[in-house]
Each structure stands twice: as C-alpha cells, then as structure tokens.
Amino acid sequence: MQDKWKLATKVIHAGHIRSSSGALVTPLCQSATFVFDSAEQGGERFAGDQPGYIYTRLGNPTTAELERKMAALEGAEAAVATASGMAAVSSALLANLQHGDHLVASKAVYGCTFSLMTAQFLRFGIEVTLVDFNDLSAIKEAIKPTTKVLFCETPVNPHLDVFDLDAIAKIAQANKLVSIVDNTFMTPLLQQPLTHGIDIVVHSATKYLNGHGDVIAGVICGSNEQIEQIKYETVKDLGGVLSPHDAWLILRGLKTLDVRLARHCDNAECLAYYLLNHEKVTKVYYPGLEGHSGYPLLGTQMKRAGGVIAFELNGAMEQSLQFINSLTLFSIAVSLGDAESLIQHPASMTHSPYSEQERELAGIGESLLRISVGLESVEDLISDLEQALALV
C-alpha cells in the first residue's frame, strides 16, 4: 500500500508502526540499551539469529522509523541515520574506499566534504581527483584502474550547478563504480537520484528534512546490502550514530516537508527574478532561471528548482560583506532549509577550507553570496534586499 502513496502522504505516514499504547505520535525511545528476556536471547541477537534491539548505536525504534520513512521517500531498500551530514558523507565513502583506492568527485562540494577528501583521505592513502561533472569526458578521463567511487552534489553547494544523474550513473555502471550523490539541496520530494541509476544517496538531515534549525543529523539511503555494510561496519565502528531524540525531531519536521518546500521554492523563484533584474547584481545562480545548467532538467530530474539562491554583486568582497551586514530580516548563518531566511559568504565561511586557487577553480568568487530562502512573506524579503542593495 505504501508504495502507491504520493510523496506528500509518505512524509506523514510511511514507515510508521502504531505503538502498543495507541499513541498517534511516534514515541521517543530514549534508551541507550535494551533488556533481553534471557542470556540465550541476548546471544542470539548479537549473532543475528533473532531480530530485536540490542544497543542504540546498533539500532533504536525511534531512529528505525526515520530510516524506514527515508528509504520509502528515496525509493531505496533501506536507510541508516547518522549524527550529522558529514557522518553520512564520510560513512558512505569509507564503506566503499580503502588504502590505495581512487575517488573521482565534483570540483565544487561543501567545504567540509572537500576537506575530508583533500586532507583526511590523504592520511588514509586514498587518492582523489576533482573534476567538472558537467564535463562527462572529464569524468571518464579521470577514471583509473584503482577508481572505486564517483561522488557529487547536485545542485552543487554553493553555486548550484546541476549535473545529469542519468549520464553519471551510466558512467559508473560502465566502469563498475559506486555512485554516491548528496541530495541535501533537493530532498527526495524534488529529486530521487536512485531512480536515475545512482547507487547511494546521502543527506544532511539538518537542513530541509528537519526544517527547524534545531538538529544536526544525516541519512544514507541505498540497497539492503549497501546499508547493511555501512550501518553495521562503518557507522557502528566510527560511532556517528544519531540520537533517538534528534530522530524524533526530524520525524516531526518531515510531516510538514511537502508544504514547506512549496513555500521555499515559491519564495526563491520570486527572489531569483528580483535579483536577476537588479542593476547591482552581476549574476544569479538558480536552476529555475533559463540559461542555468539545471534548467533543462526541471520536470525530469528535478521537480522544482529548490530554495537556495547564489548571486554575485557588482563589487569586491568589501561590498558583499557590507550588503550582508545591512540586511535586517536575513540572518547571517551558514545552514539552509530553516523557516528563517539565511545568508552567508561562501569564500570566507562554508568554503573557507578551499585555498584561494582552489576556490577560483571551483568558481567560488569573493563576491559570491548564498541565500537559503525561508518561509517569510516574499514581499518583506524583497524589501529587505532592496534597502541593503541601496546602501552598497
């Protein structure tokens, strides 16, 4: 029955198992460990011969509901929740890479993902090549006999390039590589990478999935075999496990994801067109604008263009920071997907792990700004942008 539900129904009902108490809301199972009926039962559960909970690092009823719901939303066989988006990224990658392996990734990714790949992986003897994933020939040329994984975000943080997932999946399949996509900016309601042939999807659940700015979390979705390995080896041993309370908060937030996303997208479209026509703005990056790399994929790969906008002012870094500091309704913060509209300066904030040369190669200039468009009245948001732009 659940397979036939629309996504707007799944965000509310998928994965839910009614509790014995009859509670409408999923109970919060705030317990670190679970009691066995006998020593024999404990041994059987550890051996995997009997289903049941053992210890929350290995599984928890509240977290399990979130995992079932996310698997249903992404069209995956299974999912595992993690303590942060970076725990999801690192766990998915480390489960598929070891010393001597090679990773091909898009040249622009979230700053901490970039740091993981270019600094931490060097310590583990994992080689990384960063290329433009819009250039399919560059991806193919970067592949070596030791290559094991293709990784990208789409849309890309922060300038919102969009990559063709069907084409990337075909390259991965032809070369027997594991393909991993960060779907944070879209959520499964706007884009489902697995339906395009991608193997594993990761999310920072901190963002739209939770939607209220009060949780740090991540999710990985994939096949039963992939998730079994990631959950009971990488996540278990590295310890990046989501707390039941945070899982409970995300389950609450997911119930309004469909209606929130509609408002996020509506507001973002209005702001994108406003900025596009402003004389002090030299470039706007938004997949909903004709001419953007993602525009041709709207309606096929992506249902809508999302709630994040990047743009460049006609000026240097000084003018960009002056503009940010002049805003009154936008909060200066580095997350996204919250009810509040947020603005940040990628070069000095989220993407500061990049060197100046690396930022230039990734297309992250000093005048680039990123907005996470919130749920406020769009007229008020435009008025705030107008008064700040007038001061630049």
Measured CA to CA, the distance from residue 55 to residue 36 in angstroms comes to 11
Looking at the chain, list the stretches that DSSP marks H as alpha helix, in order from N- to C-terminal side: 7-13, 39-47, 61-74, 85-94, 111-115, 121-123, 136-142, 165-174, 187-190, 224-229, 236-238, 244-254, 257-276, 317-326, 356-362, 378-391
Q: What contacts 123, CB < 8 A, 6 or more positions away?
A: none
Measured CA to CA, the distance from residue 200 to residue 198 in angstroms comes to 6
Measured CA to CA, the distance from residue 296 to residue 221 in angstroms comes to 26
Residue 16 burial (C-beta neighbours within 10 Å; 0-12, 13-18, 19+): middle
> From the candidates 101, 161, 182, 384, which is the catalytic residue?
182
Is position 57 annotated as part of the catalytic site? yes
> From the candidates 10, 45, 110, 148, which is the catalytic residue?
110
Measured CA to CA, the distance from residue 7 to residue 2 in angstroms comes to 10
For residue 159, the one-letter residue type is: H
**Closest listed residue to residue 165, CA positions, set 186, 142, 141, 144:** 186
Are 106 and 130 contacting, i.e. CB atoms less than 8 angstroms apart? yes
> From the candidates 10, 45, 207, 231, which is the catalytic residue?
207
Helix (H) or strand (E) holding 313: strand 308-313
Is position 123 annotated as part of the catalytic site? no
Is position 207 annotated as part of the catalytic site? yes
Helix (H) or strand (E) holding 203: strand 200-204
Token look-up 């994801």 returns: 257
> From the candidates 55, 57, 236, 263, which is the catalytic residue?
57
Q: Please give the positions annotated as active site.
A: 57, 110, 182, 207
